[in-house]
């Protein structure tokens, strides 16, 4: 019985760790997409000045997302990055 419980505990630990790693990687991927969108927006600001306002707000969120990732607040990072990526997608080259 102890072996079964130990086995289940080990399996649960590995699956939880794997899920956390995948979430961390997704958070990092979203941050990189946002970075790409920001670079694209920065190039478009001279031709379309209103993009500057969106850029400034997105840039602030980019910094916050990096702090969330650094603090291992991965769930919040995923939620917030998805929200901001929906806004910046039309301005990016993707």
CA distance 34 to 57: 12
CA distance 88 to 5: 47
Mean pLDDT of 78-94: 90
For residue range 30-70, list pLDDT tens digits in order.
999 999 999 999 999 998 889 999 999 999 999 999 999 99
CA distance 6 to 69: 31
Residues 6+ apart with CB under 8 A from 84: 34, 58, 61, 62, 65
Q: Quick one: CA dihedral 81, 30, 61, 83, positive or negative? A: negative
- The predicted model scores a pTM of 0.75
For residue range 19-39, list pLDDT tens digits in order.
555 889 999 999 999 999 999
């Amino acid at each position: 019985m102890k072996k079964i419980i130990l086995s289940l505990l080990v399996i649960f630990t590995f699956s939880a760790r794997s899920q956390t790693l995948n979430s961390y990687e997704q958070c990092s991927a979203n941050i990189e997409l946002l970075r790409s969108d920001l670079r694209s927006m920065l190039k478009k600001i001279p031709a379309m000045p209103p993009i500057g306002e969106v850029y400034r707000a997105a840039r602030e969120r980019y910094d916050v997302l990096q702090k969330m990732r650094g603090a291992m607040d991965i769930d919040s990072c995923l939620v917030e990055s998805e929200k901001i990526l929906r806004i910046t997608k039309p301005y990016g080259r993707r």
